[in-house]
Structure 1
Amino acid sequence: MSLPKQLYTGDQVKQGEAQAAKNAGYSLYQLMEMAGESVFSVLEEEYPRAQNVTVLCGGGNNGGDGFVVARLAKHVGLSVQLISTVDESRYVGDALQAKQAWLKSGGTILSQEALSGCLTTADVIVDGLLGTGLSGEVRDDTRAIIDSINQCEKPVIAIDIPSGLCSDTGTVLGGAICAQHTVTFIAIKQGLVTGQARDVVGKLHFSGLNVQSQFAELVSSNIDMLSLDEMLGEFPKRRATAHKGKHGRVLCIGGNQGYGGAIRMCAQAAARSGAGLVSCICHPVSSLPLMVACPEVMTIGWQDDLEQLNSKSAAQDVLAFGPGLGTDSWAHALFHHVQSLAIKKVVDADGLNLLAQSPNVDANRVITPHPGEAARLLNCSVAEIESNRYSAIKQLQDKFGGVVVLKGAGSLVCDGRRTYVCLAGNPGMATGGMGDVLTGIIAALIAQGVELSAAARLGVQLHSQAADLVAEEEGMIGLLASDVIGKVRQLLNFSA
């Protein structure tokens, strides 16, 4: 059940699955049987000691899949309680056939009144309540069932998608099942991998039901999942005769009074990510601490000398702009001058807050907002950004050009042609300085000759995967941004 690269909307899967099945020589009911088998395989593999299984079936094909899972579990001797949450007349077509096969096997259908007792005795719960067609808020009666399941703290396997989650946006529509495992079919739905989905999907499993190739031929996608192994091919190999000038020059600009740590982490990340020469322009007050902490970085304390700024910028391959910049007159002077430079840029933090005040389009730039910064850039609320992260990043790219990284759970990258999703990363990354480190990593990759979009994608994946390595070794709590820098270096040097 390895995950495919492309992502699709729920409607795309719904519209393409029938023809894909036909092209592969399967009926839709055969797909339903295979879907149930895939879920049951996960149940057996993940919970081999389970004896009591509660299956919840709503209407439609998700409920039909649930009937198949229940029948297979009963066949191997498990105690199965199946609860239908809809009137039995709602089952038609393939779902009705699956229901009849369950009854023929000796199974029974319980009403919602049995829910409390079934949850109490269950070792595992199978969620077949709601499918990918959900668009509006979950109804109150279904929300009550979802809340009961979440409160019972029993492991849940979701069929195709956790009930209550939007398959297109990754937002919770009023309430959603918190699953430990989700088994999705035919194609990965884009809402399973970003935003609130990361709280409820658990471990994601995929089964193509033997039609994934036919489906991919029929339906195109412009959203991909990132893979470090694939992207490392973009990273240039070093020749034996290499020298520092061959590996790029990065100028990090920021570090206002009281914010010197941000530009320090950015500069260190750039240096550890392979940039040949890293320089820094910061506030004079911040320059000495940076020189002491990071002597490899050439540091200038800047105060309104535009000739000095021009001269230093002209020798660079890329600017990393914004970490610790602030928003005072010192910061404004730097911002307005830097925006006029034709050099490649990676812009973060207060660089983005100033960009929100003076928007411009720059095809030669990467911007890396978190949801709060994205909301300021688009003049909307954070809730609106998070309600549809795919739409938000497209709006950001349309408005500002270049490449956009929308950080958060399931970070997104958009270059105007395609959107990419990072599955790596963990909650330990929710700490100060992580964005500063990412800015330095992306800038270093650009300096070494990696194209803007590829550098943003590789940087995001390296950053998140490095944080996962730290979390595996030391835990998520207390994970510092600076902890990630060494692991990025390790991944660049020793990954396959």
Structure 2
Amino acid sequence: MRHPLELYRAEQVRELDRRAIEGHGIPGYELMCRAASAAFDRLRARWPEVRTISVFCGAGNNGGDGYVLARLALEAGFDVQLIALKAPADLSGDALRAAQDWLQAGGTVDEAEASIHGALLVDALLGTGLDRAPSGPYAELIDRINAHPAPVLSLDLPSGLNADTGQAPGACVRAELTVTFIALKRGLFTGGAGAFTGQLLLDALDVPETLAEDLPADARLLEAAELARCLPSRPCHTHKGETGHVLVIGGDLGMSGAPVLSGQAALRTGSGLVSLATRGATAAAALAVQPELMVHSVDNPDALKARIGAADVLALGPGLGRSDWSQAMWSEAMKSARPMVLDADGLYWLAQRPRERQQLIITPHPGEAAMLLGTTSQAIQADRFQAVRSLADRYSAVAVLKGWGSLVATPDGQVEVCPFGNPAMASAGMGDALTGIIASLLGQGLAAFDAARVGVLAHALAGDRAARGRRQILASDLITALAEVLPA
């Protein structure tokens, strides 16, 4: 039915659910039972030693899933405690039927204040319709669940998490495992979702393959196989003039390291030639760090213009600064028709002097995105999908919104999400490395969108490879690890 990498908004998943029920004759209660059965199977596989569980049920169909799972566990010989925030008699529809079947099977219902005694907790409090922070008894029970030492299984998504944005506006369950149903919700892969979902598994509940044929996904996940698809093996007669010449422009006084990292990343990604255009005082230091770089002291726009003429791709911004020299370099580079990756202070100057430009890739973090859109980083994070689409549209560029679950968007609204990367990458220079990687891929002939998304993917996978068993890595560690993830 759906490619396993496709991501949907919550309303789209509800539409898929409706189509299964009304268009294909699958009763809603049957879907509820399938969901609960799938989650119970995952529970037993993940925690085979557990025989005592506490299930927390809300008032809607998510709570109904919980009632069914509780009944299945009871019938399997588990000791099951069920805590409900709404009396069964006050439920309706399939959730009411699920509660009645639970009671008929011999189950009982505890009120929200009951002591929790399960060795495993099952969260079935809130579903995908949440658009505000949980309040009252819901918030209180979520806090109690999080304070309990037992692991948590969340049904569909952790209660309190927004299925579209990945943000938790208030209290939110911290799950060790989340089993989501029908289709992947886009918010599970970006924003703050990673702090709450734990391991994420999908069960499509055996709904018909044709269900989503005319319902395009909102976004798509990147997969590691994209590297081999977009970077085929090179012919044996390849030479350096055929693999792109990247010019990195930056390195104001005191910031010589940033362009060097970008240049090193471009070299490791496969560029045949990489030049640096930098301040005279930093040129010698840059050359000493990486002799394969061609380093040029550029102190005026005319000198930069000559360097641009020899390059295929520009990487503008690493260590660029905000001085008069910086502004002059930025203005000269922006006159060029060369494909360009714009980052760091290159984005600062773009925000000061907005303009459209052909073949442009911008790579802001949330703070830089806020500057480019005239808002706050909190507003950017509140809906990263909307933010990255706005960036791409406003600047007629391919936009990369960095962070956990980095997003890559085209001006026409296509979005891909990177599910790789890790907290050990939270160190200086990571963005400079990404700029060099993307610029290198542009120079090797990839289209802007492909260069951006494959660059983000390679960057994240190299970060994961470098971080194995380590709390923190350096940008140079990631650059070294590129050789382990890029196809030969």
Give the shorter-chain TM-score range: over 0.9
Structure 1 residue 327 corresponds to structure 2 residue 296: no
Residue number in structure 1 paired with 2:47? 47
2:249, 2:232 → 1: CA distance? 25
Structure 1 match to 2:97: 97
Q: Does the CA-based 8 Å contact 2:269-2:486 persist in structure 1?
A: yes
TM-score by length of 1: 0.95
Unaligned runs of 5+ in 2: none
SS at match of 1:493: coil
Between the aligned residues of both structures, percent identity stands at 41
Return the alpha-carbon distance in structure 2 between the equivalents of residues 17 and 36 of structure 1: 15
Does 1:86 pair with 2:82? Answer: no
Runs of 4+ in 1 over 6 A off after TM superposition: none
Please name the residue that 1:57 is paired with: 57
Aligned equivalents of 1:356 and 1:175: distance in 2? Answer: 35
* CA drift at 1:10: 0.7
CA distance in 2, matches of 1:421, 1:379: 24
Match status 1:186 vs 2:182:
yes
The offset of 1:203, in angstroms, is 1.0
Q: Tell me the distance in 2 between the aligned counterparts of 1:51 and 1:236.
A: 51
Shift of 1:76: 1.8
Question: Please, which of 150, 173, 176 is the counterpart of residue 177 of structure 1?
Answer: 173
Alignment check: 8 A CA contact 2:320 2:326 kept: yes
Equivalent-residue separation in structure 2 for 1:90 and 1:18 (angstroms): 23
- Is it true that 1:208 corresponds to 2:180 in the alignment? no
The change in CA–CA distance for 1:453 and 1:328 in structure 2 (over 3 A counts) is same
1:221 paired residue among 212, 217, 222: 217
Aligned 8 A contact 1:322 1:352 in 2: yes
Written as runs of structure 1 = structure 2, the 5 A alignment for 1:239-318 is 239-304=235-300, 306-318=301-313
Q: Where does 1:66-465 land on structure 2 (aligned, <5 Å)?
A: 66-114=66-114, 117-118=115-116, 121-211=117-207, 213-304=209-300, 306-417=301-412, 418-465=414-461
> Aligned equivalents of 1:234 and 1:294: distance in 2?
28
Count of residues paired in the alignment:
486
User: Which amino acid in structure 1 is aligned with residue 320 of structure 2?
Assistant: L
Mapped to 2, the partners of 1:132 and 1:47 lie a distance apart of 26
Aligned-pair distance for 1:130? 0.4
The letter of the residue matching 2:52 is N
Residues 232 and 458, structure 1, Cα contact 8 Å, conserved in 2: no
Q: CA deviation at 1:58?
A: 0.1
Stretch moving more, 100-109 or 432-441: 100-109
**Aligned-partner SS, 1:280:** strand
2:35 corresponding residue in structure 1? 35
Deviations 1:176-233 (A, max 9, x none): 1111111111111111110011111111100000116233224212411111203431
Cα distance between partner residues in 1 of 2:102 and 2:218: 40
- More displaced, 10-19 or 214-223? 214-223
Query: Are positions 1:469 and 2:465 aligned together?
Result: yes
Q: Tell me the residue number matched to 1:16.
A: 16
Check whether the contact 2:227–2:486 (CA below 8 A) recurs between aligned residues. no
| CA deviation after TM superposition for structure 1 residue 22, in Å | 4.8
| 2:486 corresponds to | 492
> Distance in 1 between the 2:179 and 2:208 partners?
15
Amino acid at match of 2:397: G
Higher helix share: 1
Q: Distance in 2 between matches of 1:303 and 1:218?
A: 56
Q: Which amino acid aligns with 2:158?
A: P
Matched AA of 1:94: D
Quick one: distance in 2 between partners of 1:221 and 1:408? 22
Shift of residue 315, structure 1, vs aligned partner: 1.9
Q: Name the stretch that deviates more: 221-230 or 84-93.
A: 84-93
Equivalent pair of 2:249/2:278 in contact (CA under 8 Å): yes
Deviation at 1:252, TM superposition (A): 0.6
> For 2:473 and 2:3, how far apart are their aligned partners in 1?
28
